[in-house]
Structure 1
Amino acid sequence: MTRFTNLGPARSGALLMIAAGVLFAVINLLTQYATMMLHVPSARMAFWQYAIALLFSLPWVVRHGLSAMKTGHVALHIARVAAAVIGVQLWVAGLAHVPIWQAIALIMLSPFFVTFGAGLFLGEETGAARWLAVTAGFVGGMIILAPWSDAFSLYALYPVAAALFWGITSLLTKRLTRSESPESLTVYLLLLLSPVNFALALGEGVALSGGLTALILIAAGLLTALAQYAIAKAYTVADAAYLQPFDHLKLPLNVGFGVMAFGFVPPGSMWLGAALILAASFYLLRQESRAEQPA
C-alpha cells in the first residue's frame, strides 16, 4: 500500500479507500455465508472476526515496540472503539437477515453523517463539489433501495443505525490521524474491540467451530486487519469528506458477490443507482486531482 501514497493525496487516498472497499466486500460475503448458511451467531462472528484480525496485527507491535503505541488521546480512542463496536454488532446482525445489496444501499447513508460532521467538528471545507457528489451517491442508494415501496423490518434498520455509528468512527479516525500513525490506529481499534465483542458474544457462546467455519473466520479476520489499515492510511493523506464518495464503490462489488454466492438479485433500478454512485465518485476524483495540479 506504500506505493499508493506516491500518487498524490487525491489519487492515493481514493485508491486506498477503494482497496478497503474490495476487502470489505469479500468480508461481507464471508460474514453473510457464515451467519446465513452455517448459522454462526452474529455476535460470535463479530468477536472472532476482530479477535483474529488483532492476532494478524500483533507482529507490528512486536516489531516496532510497545513505546510506539503511546498516545495522549486515550479518550478519543475509547470513543472511536465504542462507536465501532456498536456499528459492527448492528452490521453483522443485519447481514444475517438482509441481502447484501440492500444492506450496502442503507449503509451509504454514512457519508451524510461524515460530511456534516467533518465541517462541524473537524473544520474541513465541504464545498459544492463534495456535496454534489455525496448527494448524487445518496440518491443512487435510494433508487436502489426504493424505501417508498419496500416494507422496512427491524433488521433492515440495523444497517441504517450502523451507518450513523460508522460515520462517527470515521470522524474520530480522521481526528486521530493528526497525531497517530495508521498502524497505531488499526491496532488500538482491534485491541479494544476484542474484549467488548467477547462480552457481547458470551450469551450465545464463543466456542470456535472447526472445518469450514474456522477457515471463514480466519480469512475474515486477516482481511479485516488489512481493510482497517487501508482506511486509516487513506485518512492520513486526504480529507474525510472527500473520501466518502469512494466508499460508494463497494456497492457494485457487494451486489456482484451477492448474486454469485446467494442469488440475491436486486431490482432493475439497482443499475441506475449504481451508475449515479460511480459517476459521483469519479467526478469528485477528477475535481480534486485538478485542484492539486500546479497553476
Structure 2
Amino acid sequence: MMFRSANTASNVSFKAAVCMTIAMAFFATMGIFIRLSSETLHTLEIVFFRNALALVFFFPFIAKNGLAVLNSKRKKLYGARALINVTGMAAGFAALTMIPLAEATALSFTAPLFATFAAAIIFGEIIRIRRIIALMLGFLGMLFILQPGVNEISTGSILAIINAVTIAITVLIVKKLTNTERPEIIVIYMALFQTPLALIPAMFFWKWPDLMTWVWLIALATAGTLGHLFYTKAIQLAEVSQMQPIEFIRLPIVAGLAFFLFGEIPTFWTWVGGAIIFSATAYVTHRESKLSKTS
C-alpha cells in the first residue's frame, strides 16, 4: 500500500512537471510571436489583439454555461487588475521589441521578488532575514544583467522591469480573487476587461494586420491561452515551490529560438544574472511555501 501511494505521488509529480514544461514552452514562444507581429503593428495594437483573440477562446465556455456564470461581486478588483495588467503587458511587449529576448526573459524572473516586497507593503507581511538575503541576491542578479556604470540602462530594460512589477501586483490581486472566484472566471474577466482597455490607446495607432501578421497574432493568443491552462493544471497537481525550478527552462528555450530566428546571442552576464535571479526566486517561493504550512 505504501509503495502504491509513493508511485501515485510520483506519477502526479511527473504529470505536473510535464504540464509546467509545456506551459513554459508556450510562454517562451510568445516573445517570438510578439517580435514578429511588431514588424507591422504597433505594440499597443498587439496588446489589444492578444486580449481580444483570447476572449474568443472562451466564447464556447460562456455559450455552454450562460452569462450567469460571470456573476461576481468583485468587479472593482477585476477592473483594478485589468488596468495594471494592461499597463504591464504594454511595457513587457514593448521591451520584447527593444532588447534581446533572453534579457527580457531573465528580467521577468524578478516578478516574485517584487511580489514579496509588495506583500510586505500592502498586507504587512513580515520578511525575515533569510528571505531578505535572497531578495538582495535576486536584485544583485538584476544588476549583473543591466550593468549600470558599464552600460547605459536602456528604455527596453526599464520597461521589462516595469512589467515585472505589474506582474507582482497582479499576482497578489489574483491571490485575493481565488478566495471566492473560479480560475476560469478569473481568466475570462481578464480578457473581458482588458480588451476594451487595450482598444482605446490602440485606436490611435490603428492599422489592420496583413495575413501573415494575423497568423502571428493568433499564434500569440493560442500560446498565451494554452500556456495559462497548462500552468494552472501544473499548480493544481503540485505545489508552486515544486514547480518553480522548471520555470528557468524558459530562458534557454527563448535564447535558442532568438538565436535561430533573429541571430541574437545572450551575453555571459545575462546567463549569470538570470541564474542568480532565478535561484533567489526559487528560494523565496520555497520559504513562503514552508511558512504557509506552519502558520
Same fold (TM over 0.5): yes
> What residue number does 1:107 align with?
108
> What residue number does 2:220 align with?
220
Residue pairs, 1:237-252, within 5 angstroms: 247-252=247-252
Shift of 1:192: 0.9
Shift of 1:71: 1.0
Residue pairs, 1:84-103, within 5 angstroms: 84-103=85-104
Residue pairs, 1:68-217, within 5 angstroms: 68-121=69-122, 135-210=136-211, 212-217=212-217
Shift of 1:20: 3.8
Q: What number of residue pairs does the alignment pair up?
A: 285
C-alpha deviations, 1:11-52, integer Å up to 9, x for none? 95x8766554332210111101221xx332111111112211
Shift of 1:132: 5.4
Residue pairs, 1:43-54, within 5 angstroms: 43-54=44-55
CA distance in 2, matches of 1:163, 1:290: 24
Shift of 1:249: 4.5
Shift of 1:161: 1.6
CA distance in 2, matches of 1:158, 1:76: 24
> Over aligned residues, Cα RMSD in angstroms?
3.7
2:32 to 29, 38, 43: 29
2:109 partner letter: M
> What residue number does 1:269 align with?
269
Identity %: 28
Shift of 1:262: 1.0
In the alignment, structure 2 segments of 5+ residues that lack a partner are 1-7
Contact 1:111/1:241 (<8 A) preserved: no
Shift of 1:142: 3.1
Structure 1 129/219 Cα, relative in aligned 2: closer, same or farther at 3 Å?
A: farther
Moved more, 278-287 or 69-78: 278-287
Moved more, 60-69 or 177-186: 60-69
Contact 1:28/1:100 (<8 A) preserved: yes
- Report the TM-score, using the length of structure 2 for normalisation: 0.79
Moved more, 240-249 or 274-283: 240-249
C-alpha deviations, 1:46-100, integer Å up to 9, x for none? 1112211111122222222222211111110000000001001111122222211
Structure 1 43/56 Cα, relative in aligned 2: closer, same or farther at 3 Å?
A: same
Shift of 1:7: 3.9
Contact 1:115/1:241 (<8 A) preserved: no
CA distance in 1, matches of 2:159, 2:272: 25
Moved more, 278-287 or 55-64: 278-287
2:218 partner letter: I
- Report the TM-score, using the length of structure 1 for normalisation: 0.79
Contact 1:81/1:193 (<8 A) preserved: yes
2:226 partner letter: L
Shift of 1:181: 1.0
In the alignment, structure 1 segments of 5+ residues that lack a partner are none
Shift of 1:202: 0.5
2:101 partner letter: I
SS at 2:205 equivalent: coil
Shift of 1:227: 2.9
2:86 partner letter: V
Larger radius of gyration: 2
1:173 partner letter: V
Moved more, 200-209 or 75-84: 200-209
1:25 partner letter: A
> What residue number does 1:258 align with?
258
SS at 2:148 equivalent: coil
